[in-house]
Chains A and B, each alone.
Chain A
Amino acid sequence: MPIIEARHISKTFEFYKKEEGIKSSFKNLFHREKLTKDAVKDLSFSVEEGEIVGFLGPNGAGKTTTLKLLSGIIYPTSGEMRVNGYIPWKRETLFKKQIAVVMAQKNQLWWDLPANESILLNKHIYEIPEPEYKKTLSDLVEIFGVKDLLSVQVRRLSLGERMKFEIISSLIHKPKVIFLDEPTIGLDLMAQRDMRKFIKDYNKHYKSTVILTSHYMQDIEELCSRAMIINKGEKVYDGALSDIKRDNIKILSFSVDHLNFDRDELIHFGKIRKEEEGSVSLEVDHNHVRDCLAYLLNKYELTDFSVEDLPIEDKILKLYEAGAQ
């Protein structure tokens, strides 16, 4: 049975138009033209226990809104949703004790105090028994390697260290479902790697379900077996990342000594991705790679050539574009 089920969820936000200048501000004092934006449109999906699912999409696609709906922060305009059997926006205490939400751009730690004070506060909020609290805290600081920083004021920590404590503080009650909104944003490469390792180990150790949004493909590639691509509030892809990778487009790159390409002929095989002095990259359907290569070898004196997969970022961009259309 899925731990998360969403059926035909929609969320519409209301806002009003504000044109440039003070004149329109005065006008708005008396009359506001109300507009609406469909942040999420008819979204349906389910997630099995223990899965790590990555939400991908451009800015404003509806990823964070979906996360907020799943965690009960906001109400939907229509649709049904269950997380571990609970309707999130009813905000029942038992539901809240089984989830954790980490938003990279929102801080929950007491800024002027060491992180252990905020974590201790959460112990009381989540009513964690003392021995269990000690064990979990010791495990989490161990995995992250931040034991020595527990008594350092949060304001003196680096962004990466702070983020680690945000996560520790949020996971101290061992939640069944974890919502992570951009957990690696702004972190350096090492901190990003540590964060990914932590999420992976945590999921493995506690069998928790993780829903993650990120702009970094590496996060999704390393962590998620399944990706859900959202664009303009709609789901445009839901499936294994490996299926996206198994796209039929190949990149055929070649170099020649002279510059006279017959562009019309090349376009016949596929889109020209890049054209620099003496070298060209073509996007070619895998069925036509052989023909294209034969044509090139026949027509030009190639000094170099290669056939590669289309980068995953490009494949996802194509999905965004397909969704937008």
Chain B
Amino acid sequence: MLREFKRYLVIYWMFIKNSLMSQMEYRVNFIISACVQLAHMGIKLTYVIVLYNVGININGFTPDEMMIMIGTYSALSGVFVSFFLINFGSLSSHIKSGGLDTLIVKPISLQFMVTLRHVDLAFAAVSLVVGGTMVGIGWYRADVAFTFVNLIGYIGFTLWGLFLTYSVFLIPNIISFWTVSANGISQFVNQLWDFNNMPMTIYNGVFKIIGTFIIPVFLITNIGGLFILDKLSPLMIVWSIIAPIFFFILCRVLWNKAMKHYVSVSG
């Protein structure tokens, strides 16, 4: 088990290395990509600037606390796009072109190969640096205690949220195995990501229930921030721990069913 885990880690490192080397072959594109993400992060920062200028609290969140939430969202957005979406988006074309044929015969998890093979590091690095800085500033200004529990809690819940992201956003793409093209549904789910732009507590009623329990996009970027701000209920803590496991199992079951449905394309 541990040996297998180590093997997958080595292969994943090779995917990252190969992706980075491939991107650096096109220097101009690599730099432009980083600049575009930098500009995108600048736009996100304007939200915070407006909040500071207005100086009001939103649903109990001070501007400093909002900074932590938006910073986490910004950092994870880059990671989501760079590590996951870049691969999920091409699943449908792999099915259409029969490109899966050469991957299916490799003695390694096909899901791992298809969903994690490419990484856009320039995009991720900018998001992590800018988002991480926003979180740091917000953390300091909001006077949140810098304790071991807070640090581990924040990093742990954020990484756990990332694990949930993988399953929640892959599931709609798995439908491609039946429909071949799943752009409509995956675009819809991808749009849901942007609801994390603001803390989940500003949403109410059915919308909040759907976003928390049915398509749990709210759990992804909120939980780490809410944990250190002491705004996380015990029920939410438990659900945040269970949900990624539940959705990953669901994702595996669907993937295995889908693989039986794969018919390739005519030779």
Contacts and interface: CB of A to CB of B under 8 A. Distances in A.
B25 A64 contact: no
A12 B253 CA distance: 25
Contacts, number: 75
Nearest to A11: B263
Nearest to A117: B18
A124 B104 contact: no
B27 interface: no
Contact of B105 (A64, A71, A111, A120): A71
A68 B14 CA distance: 28
Contacts of B107: 93-94, 96-97, 125-126
A181 B7 CA distance: 30
B233 interface: no
A72 interface: yes
Contacts of A122: 106
A302 B262 CA distance: 63
A106 interface: yes
A317 interface: no
Interface stretch (B67-75, B95-103, B182-190): B95-103
B104 A106 contact: no
Contacts of B238: none
Contacts of A148: none
A181 B102 CA distance: 12
A89 to B, nearest CB: 8
Interface residues of A, number: 38
Contact of A124 (B10, B101, B266, B267): B10
Interface string B85-125: 00000000000001101111111100000000000000000
Contact of A75 (B22, B101, B108, B260): B260
A64 B267 contact: yes
Interface in B201-237: none
B267 A72 contact: no
Contacts of B105: 71-73, 96, 99-101
Nearest to A64: B267
Contacts of A111: 22
24 contacts: A64-B267, A72-B104, A73-B262, A73-B264, A74-B263, A74-B264, A93-B107, A96-B107, A97-B107, A99-B105, A101-B101, A101-B105, A103-B101, A106-B99, A107-B102, A108-B102, A112-B21, A112-B22, A113-B18, A121-B11, A124-B11, A125-B11, A125-B108, A126-B107
Interface of B: 7, 10-11, 14, 18, 21-22, 25-26, 98-99, 101-108, 260, 262-264, 266-267
Given A60-B266, A107-B102, A113-B25, 17 more contacts: A64-B266, A68-B267, A72-B105, A73-B264, A96-B105, A99-B105, A100-B105, A101-B101, A101-B102, A110-B22, A112-B22, A112-B25, A112-B26, A113-B18, A122-B106, A124-B7, A125-B108
